[in-house]
Amino acid sequence: SRHGGRVRGFPHERGNWATHVYLPYVAQEEFLELLELLVSHARTYVPSLAAMEEFHLSLSQCVVLRYHWIEPFVRSLRERLAAFHRFFCVADQVKVYTNQNKTRTFIGLEVSAGHFQLLELVSEVDGVLEEFDLPTFYKDPSFHISLAWCVGDLSGRLEGPCLRELQDIVDRFEDSAFLLRIQWEQIRCKSGNKYFSFPLR
């Protein structure tokens, strides 16, 4: 109940640290206004939807690292990502997602520009994951920022009319073209309760 019905993707084991590489997004006030409009409308279809409290764009799946691997893993990431510069993405396409085991459904904003730079980053992150014999990212990723989630596979209720209406809200939102053009300034790795930042040049 503490986790709102969310289910672990893998069992917790002492010495195993859930690890994730991503681009953090700090939401501005206007973005939160747009989020509120989208979530309140989507709740007319799925009342149990909860808005995300933090926002990011994933560059890896959630993988399991042994504690003694964290430092070399982070060092390898730092080396591989050192040459990357800041870049822009446009995330303006509303899309519905489910996680792999269909225990959660998400509404997200999919990237429509900036895909190439993201693939380059994923290629480097994948290289580090392979060094540690960990699963790499999805083969044909749909890069996105998750906005809201609910327990279970409720994609059927959110796709179709709901999705079209949500896209209309985004398209009509004042300054959405400017708002949803995002400059990425750093990459982050979260391992258990530890955070590591890699500034882009």
Which helix (H) or strand (E) segment holds residue 113: the answer is: strand 104-113
pLDDT at 12: 56
Which helix (H) or strand (E) segment holds residue 77: the answer is: helix 70-81
- Global pTM value: 0.92
Q: First CA to last CA across the chain, in angstroms?
A: 42
> Mean of the pLDDT values across residues 39-53?
98
Two structure tokens written together for 179: 């708002």
d(CA 78, CA 194): 15
Catalytic annotation, residues: 56, 144
Q: Where in the chain are the domains?
A: 16-194
Two structure tokens written together for 95: 């899309």
pLDDT at 117: 97
Question: Could you tell me the pLDDT band of residue 100, with boundaries at 50, 70 and 90?
Answer: confident
Question: Could you tell me the pLDDT band of residue 3, with boundaries at 50, 70 and 90?
Answer: very low
pLDDT at 7: 46
Name the CATH topology of 16-194. Answer: Cyclic Phosphodiesterase; Chain: A, (3.90.1140)
Q: Give residue 118's Cα distance to chain centre.
A: 12
117-128 residue pLDDT tens? 999 999 999 999
